[in-house]
């Protein structure tokens, strides 16, 4: 498979030289620092009983990283004198934070004692914990086990602005950040990082036909389209939730280390290191799940952690022929090599496997349907990562290497009750004999995709101490990605095609002919902390450049290059040292640009095939008494040479504070997403010959565009009538945009000691506007003589304000914690808009005052002639359908009254061997409905009452 043309290779070499120049210049301009004494910092990590803790992560000043060995020892070399903040974390232990000072005599030794995670601890965090500088939240081990998630998507409900959704495996699990409703563009733009490696979905091509069905996987309403992630983000159900140690969600401006994204980043860290044997059993009315996991200390050094889970789920227990089955397994190996030398090497291997099957099986009571489908997604990931200590100008080199491979297979068996009548398998332009297919038949089709991804990243940093407490850390990195698909694509019996009418038809297509995507990126970022008196300034600023290499002959466009500057800062101006109220009061802000490159789905779309019936004559049973001829038109140039990457511009401004045990933050953000992906209708004219054969003709034959037949004992040549049709097909396009404003907030009031209860509230105001960026065809039907072109600007505006009040009661003496959440939605509103780029309405009142009308730009007729639109056409019966019409309430807002819901979570440790958890959503069984004031449509506001339980055994 050819990945590069000669021209591509020339451009690639030029880009590599450009990247190397940037890296060289970045280091050349690193600040010049006065000489300081260089020392090392040694230490040991133990548990509360003094036992060494292996594979603990020790981080100094959010910049320098080390890992403890089998004896719990760690070592930082070439650390200059000064004060350092440290953070120590390990699986199964409470994170420890503090400060240490490296002195000139080199005698410093840091001893850290970690407390095992247990409900006997005084501080247990079961909410998302906001991190400093930027909109980042961390969901830790305590929070994960308390909410009993089935997938990573369930954990995201702890983010500000999110509403409770009943956990399920039957629906697609996507990461939607700062959203009111699920959105494919938002999910596609959310990067998912699993153990340091981006989870790629860019080679997913599981669609029926892009030109015919866009991103759809199935032509029917069988539920398969709801399982499809082509053109969307990764399915989070492929990652077992019970083997996850922590999840970090970056909602705002991420580091330039992360690329190919627009919406945000979800960073997932799976369990690694020693842990006792755990057995979990979960159950609710719709599903059951079992998990087994354990971490081992190896005799030769290092640790091995293994976890396996199995789950089965039904969307409706009465319909057990519709179900979802999942198996996931993961293993993590960690070790330190050359630990006694000057160049130790940390080495981590993470491997995972998943098998997701969504199926519609035959039910004994519903045999008459004779319909079944199966959606399978089986795959694995292997990642090798670690660091090498160099102790030179570049003290540490960090490496990440990974491979991902999956097999996606969608099979469908369906009854075609009303076939086209005449079908052809021609794949070239022109006329060809066809065959009759007039009886109902069963059709089977398969879509097989084998997407693969290779990823490599190397990075290094230069940490520079700027005096006693100040420092700067310059990070440099290179990154390479390869995404391709070796699947057989769409296959079916050409004699029994999976279609039952329509102008555009299907042809088999192999994915192996599609070139792989290759991208190369480089980034540089400086993180610094500066103390100005008692105040502190922290900032991170960097630049990322990326180039997506394309096969120009097949993509019909050159490579795509983007540059992405990003920065975050936080200024702490009040501390204990300069005021009597705030322990901390800081302002923060950030700005960033990011891009999501187009995927294989949008760069290499399907060809469009149109088959016009030139002759369909069925005589008697004698040979030669029947003949079918079809004219095929193939549109091979379905690519969009003007396709651009989706571009996001974000900025935010916030404030965070801490007063004693109370702490919180508020952040205002503004996001502009442009050139979001989709498919836009294209108009095509079909001109073909119609052969006229009288009833009673026999001995029909076709040769070189001429039909002969016998009639009345003589041979005749069929007369020809010109045929003409207008049809449409879909081309990839940047067809929508999103604008977001919002405020996120959270405040922890601390614990009220007499009741052992704390109050934590969080919420958000989201204002989201989505509009079309492209003009749109108004195609009435194939028999109508005109097709109009409507202007861009149609969209939807949504608002929501909500607050979650979490009352957390923790009684360490009995090892119990329970949370009662009051979810309040104060305000919801949505309405349609149709506006120009200046916000002016594109609609006007009709002449009779009964409708709003959006005037088209003009229209085409069957001969391809264009006519500009005139207002008088609105009342002309020939043209009035070409305008877009709305009822008088069409652009009025629909507002939902405030509503509330109560949820409950309970966790109890039973000695040291068992743990019981229980959860209930909407446990008061409140059922409130909203009546749309405009349409009178009825919708349920509250999710159904849900109960789930989990028991965990530890050995």
Domain shared by 767 and 871, yes or no = no
Worst-scoring range by mean pLDDT, 101-110, 586-595, 611-620?
A: 101-110
pLDDT at 462 over 60: yes
Is the model's pTM score more than 0.85?
yes
| HSE (side-chain half, CA atoms, 13 Å) at 258 | 28
Q: Is the pLDDT of residue 218 over 80?
A: no
Instruction: Summarize the confidence of residues 676-698 as an average pLDDT.
Output: 94
Number of structural domains the chain divides into? 3
Contact 244, 363 (CB under 8 A): no
Q: What is the pLDDT of residue 14?
A: 54
Is the pLDDT at 325 greater than 80, yes or no?
Answer: yes
**Where does the pLDDT of residue 145 fall: very low under 50, low under 70, confident under 90, or very high at 90 and above?**
confident
What residues make up the domain containing 559? 137-685+726-841+891-954
Question: 579-591: b or e for each residue (b if 16 or more CB lie within 10 Å)?
Answer: eeebebbbebbbb
Query: Does residue 95 lie in a domain region?
Result: yes
Q: Higher-confidence residue: 339 or 440?
A: 440
Does a structural domain hold residue 697?
A: no
Count the neighbouring beta carbons within 10 Å of the beta carbon of residue 229: 24
Q: What is the pLDDT of residues 495-532, one digit of tens each?
A: 888 876 677 899 999 999 999 999 999 999 999 999 99
Q: Are residues 223 and 206 in the same domain?
A: yes
Contact predicate 918/948, CB 8 Å: yes
Read off the pLDDT of residues 40-95 as tens digits, 9 standing for 90 and up. Answer: 788 999 998 899 998 888 988 888 888 888 889 988 877 788 888 899 999 889 88
pLDDT, one tens digit per residue, over 16-28 is 454 444 444 444 4
Q: Is the pLDDT of residue 365 over 70?
A: no
Q: Degrees (nearest 5) of the Cα angle 305, 307, 313? A: 165
The per-residue pLDDT for 318 is: 54
In a domain, 17, yes or no: no
Classify residue 298: in a domain, yes or no.
Answer: yes
Residues 773 and 819 in one domain: yes
Listed in sequence order, the residues at least 6 apart from 524 whose beta carbon sits closer than 8 Å to its beta carbon are 22, 23, 26, 256, 474, 475, 476, 477, 542, 543
- Render pLDDT for 157-178 as a digit per residue (tens, 0 to 9): 999 999 999 988 888 899 999 9
Band the pLDDT of 893: cuts 50, 70, 90. very high
What is the per-residue pLDDT across 764-793, written as a single tens digit (0 to 9) for each?
A: 999 999 999 999 999 998 889 999 999 999
Surface-to-core class of residue 622, CB atoms within 10 Å of its CB (0-12 exposed, 13-18 middle, 19+ buried): exposed
How many whole angstroms separate alpha carbon 241 and alpha carbon 224? 24
pLDDT of residue 31: 39
Mean pLDDT score across all residues of the chain? 89
Q: Does residue 382 share a domain with residue 347?
A: yes
Same domain for 481 and 404, yes or no, is yes
How do residues 221-254 score in pLDDT, each as one tens digit? Answer: 666 777 889 999 999 999 989 999 999 999 999 9
Name the band, by pLDDT with cuts 50, 70 and 90, for residue 6. very low
Residues 525 and 573 in one domain: yes
Phi, psi of 753 (to 5 degrees): -55, -45
Q: Report if residue 15 sits inside a domain.
A: no
Does residue 718 sit within a domain? no
In this structure, are 798 and 864 located in the same domain?
Answer: no
Checking 22-31 for CB contacts under 8 A at 24+ apart, the result is: 22/522, 22/524, 22/543, 22/545, 23/476, 23/478, 23/522, 23/524, 26/474, 26/476, 26/524, 27/462, 27/474, 27/476, 30/462, 30/464, 30/474, 31/464, 31/466, 31/472
- Say whether both 896 and 828 belong to one domain: yes
pLDDT in the model for residue 32:
38
Whether residue 37 has pLDDT greater than 50: no
- Examine the domain organization and report whether 781 and 860 are in the same domain: no
Residue 445 belongs to a domain with what CATH number? Answer: 2.40.170.20
Structure confidence at residue 29 (pLDDT): 42
Whether residue 123 is contained in a domain is answered as no
Whether the pLDDT of residue 185 is over 70: the answer is yes
Residue 708 included in any domain: no
What is the distance between the alpha carbons of residues 951 and 955, in angstroms, rounded to a whole number? 13
| DSSP calls for 739-756 | EEEEEEEEEEEEEEGGGT
The answer to whether residues 885 and 907 belong to one domain is: no
Q: Which of 116, 148, 176 is the last residue of a domain?
A: 116
810 with 933, same domain? yes
Strands 64-67 and 852-854, bridge-based pairing: unpaired
CATH code, domain carrying 70 = 2.60.40.1120
Rounded CA separation 328/333 (Å): 17
Q: Are residues 107 and 179 in the same domain?
A: no
Q: Render pLDDT for 738-760 as a digit per residue (tens, 0 to 9).
A: 999 999 999 999 999 888 999 99
């Amino acid at each position: 498979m050819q990945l590069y043309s000669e021209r591509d290779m020339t451009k690639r070499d030029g880009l590599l030289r450009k990247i190397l120049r940037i890296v060289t210049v970045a280091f050349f301009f690193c600040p010049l620092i006065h000489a300081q004494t260089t020392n090392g910092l040694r230490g040991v990590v133990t548990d509360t009983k003094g036992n060494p803790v292996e594979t603990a992560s020790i981080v100094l000043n959010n910049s320098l990283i080390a890992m403890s060995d089998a004896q719990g020892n760690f070592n930082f070399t070439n650390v200059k004198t000064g004060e350092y903040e440290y953070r120590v974390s390990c699986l199964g232990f409470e994170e420890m934070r503090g400060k240490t000072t490296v002195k000139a005599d080199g005698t410093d030794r840091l001893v850290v004692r970690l407390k095992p995670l247990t409900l006997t601890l005084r501080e247990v965090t079961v909410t998302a914990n906001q991190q400093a500088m930027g909109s980042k939240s961390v969901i830790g081990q305590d929070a994960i086990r308390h909410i009993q998630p089935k997938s990573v998507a369930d954990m995201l409900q702890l983010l500000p602005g999110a509403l409770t959704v009943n956990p399920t495996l039957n629906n697609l699990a996507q990461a939607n950040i700062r959203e009111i409703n699920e959105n494919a563009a938002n999910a596609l733009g959310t990067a998912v990082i699993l153990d340091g490696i981006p989870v790629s979905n860019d080679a997913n091509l599981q669609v029926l036909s892009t030109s015919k069905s866009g991103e759809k996987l199935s032509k029917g309403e069988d539920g398969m389209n709801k399982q499809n992630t082509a053109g969307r983000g990764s399915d989070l159900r492929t990652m077992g939730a019970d083997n996850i140690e922590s999840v970090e969600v970056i909602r705002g401006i991420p580091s330039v280390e992360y690329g190919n994204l627009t919406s945000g980043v979800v960073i997932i860290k799976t369990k690694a290191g020693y842990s006792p044997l755990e057995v979990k059993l979960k159950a609710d009315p719709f599903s059951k799940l079992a998990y087994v996991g354990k971490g081992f200390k190896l005799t030769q050094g290092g640790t091995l952690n293994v976890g396996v889970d199995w789950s089965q789920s039904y969307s409706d227990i009465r319909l057990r022929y519709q179900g979802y089955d999942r198996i996931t397994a993961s293993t993590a190996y960690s070790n330190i090599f050359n630990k006694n030398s000057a160049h130790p090497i940390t080495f981590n291997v993470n491997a995972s496997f998943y098998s997701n099957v969504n199926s519609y099986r035959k039910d004994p009571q519903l045999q008459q349907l004779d319909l079944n489908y199966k959606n399978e997604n089986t795959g694995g990931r292997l990642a090798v990562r670690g660091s090498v200590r160099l102790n030179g100008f570049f003290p540490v080199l960090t490496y990440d290497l990974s491979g991902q491979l999956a097999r996606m297979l969608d099979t469908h068996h369906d009854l075609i009750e009303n076939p086209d009548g005449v079908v052809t398998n021609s794949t070239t332009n022109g006329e060809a004999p066809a065959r009759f297919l007039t009886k109902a038949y069963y059709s089977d089709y398969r879509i097989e995709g084998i997407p693969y991804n290779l990823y490599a990243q190397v990075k290094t940093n230069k940490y520079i101490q700027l005096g006693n407490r100040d420092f700067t850390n310059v990070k440099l990195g290179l990154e390479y990605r390869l995404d391709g698909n070796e699947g057989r694509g769409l296959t079916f019996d050409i004699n029994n095609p999976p279609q039952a009418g329509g102008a555009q038809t299907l042809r088999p297509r192999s994915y192996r002919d599609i070139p792989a995507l290759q991208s190369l990126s480089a980034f540089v970022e400086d993180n610094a902390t500066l103390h100005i008196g008692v105040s502190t300034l922290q900032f991170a600023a960097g630049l990322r450049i990326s180039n997506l290499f394309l096969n120009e002959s097949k993509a019909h466009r050159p490579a795509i290059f983007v540059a992405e500057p990003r920065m975050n800062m936080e200024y702490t101006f009040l501390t204990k040292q300069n005021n009597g109220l705030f322990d901390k009061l800081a302002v923060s802000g950030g700005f960033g640009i990011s891009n999501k490159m187009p995927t294989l789905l949008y760069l290499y779309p399907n060809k469009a095939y149109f088959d016009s019936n030139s002759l369909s004559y069925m005589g008697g049973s004698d040979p030669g008494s029947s003949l079918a001829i079809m004219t095929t038109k193939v549109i091979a140039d379905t690519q969009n040479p003007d396709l651009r990457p989706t571009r996001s511009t974000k900025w935010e401004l916030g404030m965070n504070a801490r007063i004693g045990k109370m702490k919180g933050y508020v952040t205002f953000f503004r996001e502009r997403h442009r050139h979001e992906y989709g498919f836009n209708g294209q108009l095509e004219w079909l001109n073909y010959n119609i052969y006229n054969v009288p009833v009673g003709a026999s001995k029909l034959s076709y040769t070189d565009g001429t039909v002969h037949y016998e009639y009345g004992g003589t041979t005749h040549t069929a007369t020809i009538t010109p045929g003409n049709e207008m049809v449409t097909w879909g081309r990839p396009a940047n067809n929508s945009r999103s604008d977001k404003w919002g405020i996120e907030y959270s405040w922890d009031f601390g614990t009220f000691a007499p009741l052992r209860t704390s109050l934590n509230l969080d919420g958000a105001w989201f204002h989201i506007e989505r509009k079309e960026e492209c003009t749109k065809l108004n195609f009435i039907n194939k028999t109508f003589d005109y097709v109009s072109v409507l202007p861009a600007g149609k969209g939807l505006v949504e608002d929501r304000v909500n607050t979650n009040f979490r009352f957390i009661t923790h009684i360490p003496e009995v090892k119990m914690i329970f949370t009662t959440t009051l979810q309040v939605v104060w305000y919801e509103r949505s309405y349609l808009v149709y506006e120009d780029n200046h916000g002016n309405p594109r609609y006007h009142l009709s002449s009779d005052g009964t409708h709003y009308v959006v005037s088209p730009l003009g229209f085409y007729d069957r001969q391809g002639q264009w006519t500009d639109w005139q207002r008088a056409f609105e009342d002309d019966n020939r043209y009035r359908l070409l305008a877009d019409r709305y009822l008088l309430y069409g652009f009025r807002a629909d507002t939902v009254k405030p509503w509330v819901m109560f949820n409950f979570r309970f966790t109890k440790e039973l000695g040291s061997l068992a743990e019981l958890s229980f959860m209930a959503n909407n446990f008061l069984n409140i059922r409130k409905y909203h009546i749309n004031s405009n349409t009178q449509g009825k919708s349920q506001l509250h999710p159904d009452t849900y109960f789930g339980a989990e028991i965990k055994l530890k050995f």
